[in-house]
Amino acid sequence: MRLVLASNNAKKLGELGSLFGGLPVALVTQGSLGIAEAEEPHGTFVENALAKARHAAQAAGGPAIADDSGLCVEALGGAPGVISAHYAPVELPSWLPRESHRERQDAANNALLLQRLAGQPDRRARFVCTLVALRHAQDPEPLIAFGRWEGEILQQPAGEGGFGYDPLLFIPSLGKAVAQLDAAVKNAHSHRALAARQMAAMLREAWHLG
C-alpha cells in the first residue's frame, strides 16, 4: 500500500519509514507527488494533523498520514503548542537559505521561551506528537495516535544535536537534554517514536496490515 506522508521533511520520512518498517506500506512524501502543503489554521495538534491528512489523501486519491507536533509548557498554559515552529516573530530575508532560516527561527524561539519562563519555578514541559492516518479523504474513522515526551525546560541551552527546542528540554529519565542524545536514543524514546509505534499497531489491527 502507498501511504502518502503529508510532509516534505526528509528526516520525518526516514524516522517514520524505519518505525513502519515491518508493515507492507510504501511511505512517500506529498512533495514527491507534487502536492502542496495544507493550511494549519487550528488550535490543536489533532485538528491540524487531520486537516493535513485529508488534504494529502484528497490530492493523492488514497491513504495518507500526517503529524502535528510541538512543545507544550505547563506554566504557559500549553504554549507554544501548535505555533512552536514560529513562536517568536522574526523577520527573515527571503534569500536566506532554508537551513539558515530555520536556525535563526529556532534561536529566536528558544530565547523567547526562556524570557517568558524567567523566574518561573515550574519548568515542566513535554514534546507532543499527534499522528492521523486516513484510508481516503472522507474516511469517517481516522486512526489517531499520540506521543508525549515529558521533561523540564533548562535555564540555558545544552547540547549541539537536534533542532528546535531540543537544547532546552531536559529528559530526567535519561539525564540529558534532547540535544545531548545521540540519534538512536532520541529516535527510540521521542514523542514521534511513541506515536509511530502506537500508529503501527493500529494500522495492523484496523487496516489489517502486516
Q: Alpha-carbon Rg of the chain, whole angstroms?
A: 17
Catalytic pick among 67, 68, 106, 166: 68
Say if pTM beats, i.e. exceeds, 0.85. Answer: yes
To the query of whether residue 68 is one of the catalytic residues in this protein, the response is yes
Q: What is the pLDDT of residues 82-108, one digit of tens each?
A: 999 999 998 877 777 767 878 889 999
Which grid coordinates are listed for 169? 528540554
Which grid coordinates are listed for 46? 489533532
What are the structural domains of the chain?
2-206 (3.90.950.10)
**What sign has the CA pseudo-torsion 72, 78, 79, 83?**
positive
Q: Beta strands of the chain (E only): which ranges?
A: 2-5, 26-29, 64-73, 124-134, 143-153, 169-171, 176-177
Confidence class for position 9, pLDDT limits 50, 70, 90 = confident
